[in-house]
Chain A
């Protein structure tokens, strides 16, 4: 937790010892939305822990509550329709819900930063790259215009942009998607945040650029000790970058484990389905496996296990009991009746 262990690499597997104290802890988070069709709960009891220097993957299909979870952490949910109805988000030992809006603003972009999915639209078209990069520096670090500009050039160099001095004077529309995402990362990392939330940072980019961007995030993370919450629907990305994974389905975490363990022995039928549906280079199958059916609508959830209607291993008990998320192995939690709590 001190600056001396900055150089230490991220703990690849649940590292024992001092690093275990989480920077960010989400406990039993519930978020309610008011919609024209009544109240829904897109996030229903999500708990996460993010330790210093580690990357946690939050995986799930669209609408499962990944992004709502991340916006709740930033306290950026749309105020008029969404509300955190339960649970607690603590950052550095502090309950974020208790902070004033002013103190929360001092954390956003400074100690918790965020990268968005769409690099093409996340930059303001009316300002140059340099102006936009300078914004968090001036706001949070109180730099002068000249200092911020010099720092912006450095930051662009750090994210692997050649000729950064030229780029600071350019407008976003003159840059490619990959370049813009690098700029977004430079902006997010400018204040060396303790937590970086990356919401599908590579979804809009083509595959070669994806790999570069992921590598860049990993490099910066190793240099700064930032904890990364990587939100994605892409298990390939997870395998490549994450230390731990939480799989979300319909507003709940259904399985959470160390990345190696999750890929080696997935337990929850949903996770298994996801892994089966990954295209594999060496497999001869000409059709990818599918998970039948679709996600239940949030205003009409099954009373028991939410995945039950689509599950190939469903039995009578699945439809009636609410299934809890329980530890089913060492550093491995599963929300499935097939896997009873390990003692």
Chain B
């Protein structure tokens, strides 16, 4: 259930699948990140959406799903900040409730991509040979599909719904993570500390977990953050197309889908505000991802 979203799950240090990093390092990364204005803005946007989504039941002025035809299609006003929709539901309220669904979908989607793609890429690179080749060709095959079309095919075959949308978004993202991890592992495995690890008697899984993964974490986190933006957009697109979350659930893609008939008749607020919500949350993750890319360089890290 989306309601179980915890505040930590949207924090940058806790990208899905990442091990619990020690507080010291997190603090350093965060401090460096907060020195730059754009990533700070990105982080602020994400935090704002997270808090608003979590506190939606407390913050939202109205019920998200109760129709009231007496007040339908009202323009934005002091009472209804974002106006009301064709059933008289408050759009501001629905956008807030939509935030938690959206973030949750993004997290699960990226989590699936990460949890499947990273081990696949690592093993393919480490084992190499026929197995590695086969895995990476499969990834190439997945990448050959336009991503949205592939997501639609998967969601449609699983049957419309929130879970299908999450799985579809997750599967579509797997090859990206696999390829990044593949490349990183290929270069890392030639490094001397990997050989030194072998000379210390470590097993291959231990080397992958202890020596390869931590050194690949920075680019993976960057990808995860950028991937969140993509996941949010894809999930919203699936819902818009009727393959994801179903009405009347307050979800941004669903809201735009319901609003599309009113754009030309003048009720611009129906589609604009959910659209802005999608745009800002993606912007937030992209700004954060770019910032992380600059900051998460082990050479910039110190013990103090």
Contacts and interface: CB of A to CB of B under 8 A. Distances in A.
Interface of A: 74, 76, 80, 104-110, 113-114, 116-118, 121-128, 135-136, 139-140, 169-171, 173-174, 184, 187
Contacts of B201: 104-110, 136, 139-140
Contact of B303 (A110, A123, A170, A187): A170
A113 B129 CA distance: 29
The SS class assigned to the B binding surface is helix
A105 B202 contact: yes
B298 A109 contact: no
Interface in B161-193: 191-193
A76 B214 contact: no
Nearest to B206: A139
B211 interface: yes
A121 B128 contact: no
A126 B197 CA distance: 13
Interface string B231-274: 00000000000000000000000000000000000000000000
A80 B200 contact: no
Given A116-B192, A173-B299, A184-B196, A125 B215 contact: yes
B215 A76 contact: no
A173 B298 contact: yes
Contacts of B199: 74, 76, 108-109, 113-114, 116
Given A127-B214, A139-B202, A140-B201, A116 B195 contact: yes
Contacts, number: 82
A125 B196 contact: no
A108 B192 contact: no
Nearest to B216: A126
Of B196, B198, B217, the most chain A CB neighbours within 10 A belong to B196
A174 B302 contact: yes
B131 to A, nearest CB: 12
Contact of A174 (B191, B193, B203, B303): B303
Contacts of A107: 201
Contacts of B202: 105, 109, 135, 139
Contact of A124 (B128, B129, B193, B302): B193
A169 B304 CA distance: 9
A178 B149 CA distance: 56
Contact of A105 (B195, B203, B299): B203
Contacts of A122: 192-193, 195-196
Interface residues of B, number: 24
B303 A114 contact: no
Contacts of A106: 201
Interface of B: 128-129, 191-193, 195-203, 210-211, 214-215, 217, 298-299, 301-303
A126 B298 contact: yes
Contacts of B303: 128, 169-171, 174
Contacts of A74: 198-199
B301 A124 contact: no
A153 to B, nearest CB: 15
A123 to B, nearest CB: 6
Contacts of B195: 76, 116, 122
B193 A108 contact: no
B115 to A, nearest CB: 20
A76 B198 contact: yes
A300 to B, nearest CB: 27
A116 B196 contact: yes
Contacts of B215: 124-126
Contact of B301 (A108, A116, A171): A171
B207 to A, nearest CB: 10
A104 to B, nearest CB: 8
A127 B217 CA distance: 12
Nearest to B196: A122
B196 A108 contact: no
Contacts of A109: 199-202
Nearest to A109: B200
Contacts of A105: 201-203
B214 A135 contact: no
Contacts of A114: 196, 199
Nearest to A106: B201
A176 to B, nearest CB: 15
B298 A171 contact: yes
25 contacts: A74-B198, A76-B195, A105-B203, A108-B198, A109-B200, A113-B200, A116-B192, A117-B192, A121-B192, A122-B195, A124-B211, A124-B214, A125-B299, A126-B214, A126-B298, A128-B303, A135-B197, A135-B200, A139-B200, A139-B201, A169-B303, A171-B303, A173-B299, A174-B303, A187-B200
B20 to A, nearest CB: 15
A74 B198 CA distance: 9
A90 B299 CA distance: 42
A168 B201 CA distance: 21
Contacts of A123: 193, 196
A249 to B, nearest CB: 25
B196 A136 contact: no
B215 to A, nearest CB: 5
Given A107-B201, A116-B199, A125-B299, 7 more contacts: A80-B128, A105-B203, A108-B201, A123-B196, A125-B193, A125-B215, A140-B201
Contacts of A110: 201
B213 to A, nearest CB: 9
A174 B202 CA distance: 25
Contacts of B211: 124, 126
Contacts of A104: 201
